[in-house]
Amino acid sequence: MKRIWPDVDGRCIERFILELGARNAKTPVVYRCILSGFQRFVMQRNRRRSLDEQTIKAWLHERIAQWPLHIVFHRARLVDRFLDFLATEGSIASNPLHKLRMQYGQRTTTPIVRALLSSSSETALEALRPLPRFGSFLGPLMLYHVTLMRDMGYRYETPANRFLYFDRYLQKNPHLDGQPLAVLLQEWRAIRPTPEHAWQCHELGRDLARAWRRFEPMIPVPKPDRQLCQQLKQQRRRPHIYTEQEVQHLLETARRFPSPCAPLRPLTLYTMLVLAYCTGLRLGEIVGLNLGDVHLDLGEIEIRETKFFKSRTLPVPNSVVAALSDYLHARRLAGGPQQADSGLFWHQQRAGRYSYVMTEKLLVRVLRLSGVKPDIGGLGPRIHDMRHTFVANRMLEWYREGINPQARLPYLATYLGHRDINSTLAYLTITNELLQLAGARFRAFGAHSLHVAEGVDNEAD
């Protein structure tokens, strides 16, 4: 298609704004003003109306003299999106900002803009170029080990990420090339003297030693540091077990969540919290639900390919079925797609479903608005504590019904998607009520046996 931008009548800008589908009436006016100003600058600067990196750079330097830095970043992102749109429809040959992002390995526009605004843009751009993956002197060994573990069927995500962090550290410190493993780990551990980082260094050392032993059998594998593990557990935050009053307050806050531009969002957040509290689903499992995974006629939901490669079908209580039914009805009225593979928790943006990051931010905001969590900071209850609460409540119900919880733990582990009950035991938080019920069960079934044993001993004396 023949290049037609910049155009005098502004039709390209109008097509772009129309495709955005802005819900706020002021947004098209603001965007039109910004993009029209950018178009005029391109036309005035270059009579051939061509667009290149130097033109973008000149526009940024002119705007930084008029706008604050954060405004420049925001409007440069808008221009980047506009130029991507023009390149897609063929109105321009290419987007210079997109080429810079691809060349220097950046997913977002802001680092590129910051580099173009610096006094030495070439040096700043080169500093953005990411280091090669597994490019250190130990990189081939680590890559071989990660590939081998994945070929054996492991996801191996967490150890692989540790290897990548360590690999980048080695690339930035070439003076460590050829040093023994103990020296490398000691140097890396010294950069952040915290128990969490020390534990990461220890686990990395064990994984790296195992990989090295395939080529040098005499390499020793460090033993597990139980003292460090215990110290780390003591410093970690204890889970918060939500009370019924807190959960009720959270649900009411979610239903009143301020969202004038997304009317379905309050009910969406409410339904997410109902699922988290009543089924103990992980946040990623909630976000990953599709419309076809919900079977209201059977009272079941299907969880597909989550942690540990597990899929499972979960029966849900009638209260959850009712909440899902109300949400699906509202979703249908709001125009949500009805295909089985569409996201259960749908919104009108281009992605069509809530991401993990956005869902977590919104639910944390519900926690803060309800007063359960402080207004700022990372302290206070977490969304994942709903899963701990689910396990604690399930244990309480079994004690109240006179059921031996130990016999039911394998079923609970399967419901939660755990490999075995050892993972489930990490969620068993001892509350006062649970301790009282466990004590009462012991007195009912175990105390009599103790008295019988005491009587036998007395007769022997």
Catalytic residue IDs: 282, 307
Long-range contacts of 275-278 (CB under 8 A, 24+ apart): 275/320, 276/383, 276/386, 276/387, 276/390, 277/242, 277/247, 277/386, 277/389, 277/390, 278/316, 278/317, 278/319, 278/320, 278/390
Q: How far apart are CA 391 and CA 440, in angstroms?
A: 20
How many CA atoms lie less than 13 Å away from 204 in the CB half-sphere?
Answer: 23
Tell me the Cα Rg of the chain.
Answer: 29
Cα–Cα distance measured from residue 75 to residue 42, given in angstroms and rounded to the nearest whole number: 15
CA–CA dist 97, 24 (Å, integer): 27
- The dihedral region occupied by 225, where left means phi > 0, alpha psi between -120 and 50, and beta the remainder, is beta
Residue 52, classed as helix, strand or coil, is: coil
Torsion from C-alpha of 189, 192, 195, 198, nearest 10 degrees: -20
Report the C-alpha gap between 108 and 73 in whole angstroms.
11
**Exposure on the CB side of residue 319, measured as CA atoms within 13 A:** 8
What CA–CA distance (Å, rounded) separates 185 from 447? 53
